[in-house]
Amino acid sequence: MILNSFSFLVFFAIIFILFWKISKKYQWILLLLAGYYFYASWKPAYLGLILLTTLINYYCAIAIYRQAHRKRRYLLVALFLNLSALFIFKYFNFFSLTLNQVLKVNLPQFKFLLPLGISFYTLQVIGYLFDVYKGKIQPEKHLGFFALFVCFFPQLSAGPIERGGALLPQLKKQYSFDYVKVAGGLKLFTYGLFKKMVIADNLGIVVDRVFNSLPEYKGLSLVLVVFFYTWQIYMDFSGYTDMARGVGKMLGIELMENFNFPYFADSVRDFWKRWHISLTSWLRDYIYIPLGGNRHGWIKMLLSTILVFTVSGLWHGAGIHFVIWGTLNGIWMVGERIVQFRFGKVLRVPRILKIAYAYVMISIFWIFFRAVNLSDALYILRNSIMGIKNFIQPNYIWASLNQLFIFNRVEMIITFSLLIIVITGEFIRTKISLEGILSKQPAVARFVFFCIVAFLIIQLRNSDIKEFIYTRF
């Protein structure tokens, strides 16, 4: 069950009605049962995994707090068990295959379905353990509330990665119906659904077509499809976050913002302050700062940056192309810091050029992220600029577009219209929120707007329900 499926809409409608009808003291129990049902709908056998994760981290956190002289030992035990589960299900085959190729051994391969959200809830509980270890928060003594913290269903499959100090107090509150919050949550969910089903999934049709038949494409066709992918992944992931935050808000719970106009960043470093904020802040607080952060000189700081983003790449996927993607981001950020340090006072570049530079670099890095393997990524890099002198010739542009859209002009018009809408919308939202614009309009205009959004979702949705890109991680 995924957030953009009809089954989820039915599921949430039932949970929503029951949540606001039952006694307030039982609201958390309903949410806990809903989380377990949501998780089991992916693969029932893995329900035992999240239950075991919950019990281990619950008792280890309490032991860390109560037995100060042994807290390091309990922390290491919990980390080992959490990371072992993640390694077995997500990384074992990758490392096994690599060792088989390098050392010419014959280690086994396992056919595991990746447990839903394991990368996300593993980081969430590890962050919670570190916060308890450092004395930032006290451990949650109520097993039920802690279990809900681990499997709160809106953010279970792809975040945001919440902190115990922010989410646990909200889960323990008893809520009264708030029309303003519910309406705001419904709007947020609808925006996210539009991003996913209308924009991301339609762009994905063209992107998948090209990546599934790469040898057939060269030059401008590859440049365009990389451009499409940058917006596909942004709309897909931010759409999920909006939907998750919208569901949470309708239940009275505020989840953190995960995006802040990342394609208006003026550097790669700035991009990572705006993209997947919950992950970036997690990496900063629980890896970068413990490694020394900015406290132990330039060399260590730069090496720590590269290491953190290499880990980020590996977290995203068990593949060498993901590792390269993360490492490239880290190396480039190091380069930017060196340039800023040496030339920042004399280098004056218009912001629009900085934004263009950052977007181009991030787009190049996305190639490694989207490619099925390293060979495909290198193919795109080698062949994207082939025939670059023809990029301004109308006949060449038209031929490339026809190849991308297999001469389907309706699909072509819809795709570029959606891109114009989303890019224009992003620019406007940097100045004023969409909610702010709509709130100034008459009720009839707001009603018509949401009718149009609903109509576009129904008419332009993909016939096959597509999972969110980040649920694969």
Catalytic residue selected from 69, 276, 316, 321? 316
Q: Answer yes or no: are the C-beta atoms of 286 and 126 closer than 8 Å.
A: yes
Considering only CA atoms, which of 291, 295, 325 is closest in space to residue 305?
Answer: 291
> CA 468 to CA 12: how far, in whole Å?
18
Concerning whether 316 is annotated as a catalytic residue, the answer is: yes
DSSP string, 29-45: HHHHHHHHHHHHTT-GG
Q: Answer yes or no: are the C-beta atoms of 315 and 119 closer than 8 Å.
A: yes
Helix (H) / strand (E) element for 185: namely helix 179-194
> CA 306 to CA 12: how far, in whole Å?
41
The tokens describing 333, both together, are 């950020």
Q: Answer yes or no: are the C-beta atoms of 468 and 3 closer than 8 Å.
A: yes
State the Cα angle at 19 between 14 and 21, rounded to 5°.
Answer: 95
* Alpha carbon 298 to its chain's center: 30
Residue 104, classified by CB atoms within 10 Å of its CB into exposed (0-12), middle (13-18) or buried (19+), is exposed
Who contacts 234 (Cβ-Cβ below 8 Å, separation ≥6)? Answer: 259, 262, 263
Q: Which residues are catalytic?
A: 316
